[in-house]
Chain A
């Protein structure tokens, strides 16, 4: 049994080395195709519209992208990424469950820009700016909501999701 285990151990150590050595031998082609994994993370800011007093007339409230939330995309330098997002439905159902009153919804329309103010539309493809071994792109997210004349009061919540892919 000990002998068998020893053989297994030897095979376990040798086989990966062999494969690795083979990979190394063809690395000129393989490494060239490897790319930095893509990621997107929030850096700062928020999408909090704060308190808005209802006036009984329709109104539009906005957060400018520079005053909103900043996301940073990192990936392979100079590589193009596709950015997708959608409008978001907000509702006050949790608030109504606590305080009563009428439920309502709001639609959040995202307004996204890069550092230089270039507008980003869902589905746009943008090149990651090279910073050494990393490619980066900052996205500033703001947006607007339209408040109806008879919009019910309450705390509205919704989740904005932004996706990127190579």
Chain B
């Protein structure tokens, strides 16, 4: 009887040794974010010809008539929009006689038309709405220029820069 019990114990201990492998797991996560891009859709910031009349005047450009940009990025993410006023210099580059362009920036979400625009202040975030796996928001830029009473005539030009970042 002891012999059989010994066989049984040997068999059982073999079973313990042959314990099946045990395992554990972990979920691997990666969020690949589409890089940001901003591109011009249409329009310009050309204020045209202005006749000096000896009095100060404000030149206005409605954002709907200005430049339309399209921000492309990751769907449902926020993108921070940054911009600053731009100095316009006369042809002769006389830095004493500049004009200041004060931008007015609006966004219309994924609407390509200037419908229910929302003001976008410098440094604030816009939401990129999903369009088949790409986040989009349309940005509209207009603004104003104050022309002094004694502003010298000439062609004034400047660069307006708008930036987006996650």
Contacts and interface: CB of A to CB of B under 8 A. Distances in A.
Do A and B pair up? The answer is: yes
A77 to B, nearest CB: 15
A54 B25 contact: no
B21 A84 contact: yes
A52 B34 CA distance: 9
Given A26-B2, A51-B33, A100-B133, A88 B28 contact: yes
B54 interface: no
B133 A101 contact: yes
Interface string A83-123: 01000101010001001111010101000000000000000
Nearest to B166: A53
Contacts of A92: 32
B19 interface: yes
B16 A152 contact: no
Contacts of B19: 37-38, 165-166
A156 B30 contact: yes
Contacts, number: 154
A23 B4 CA distance: 10
B55 interface: no
A contact patch SS:
strand
A137 interface: no
Instruction: Give the 6 A-B residue pairs with the shortest CB-CB distance, closest first.
Output: A101-B133, A33-B13, A165-B21, A30-B9, A100-B132, A163-B23
Interface of A: 19, 22-23, 25-26, 29-30, 33-35, 37-42, 46-56, 61, 69, 71, 82, 84, 88, 90, 92, 96, 99-102, 104, 106, 108, 141, 143, 145, 147, 151-166
Interface of B: 1-2, 5-6, 9-10, 12-14, 16-35, 74-76, 130, 132-134, 166
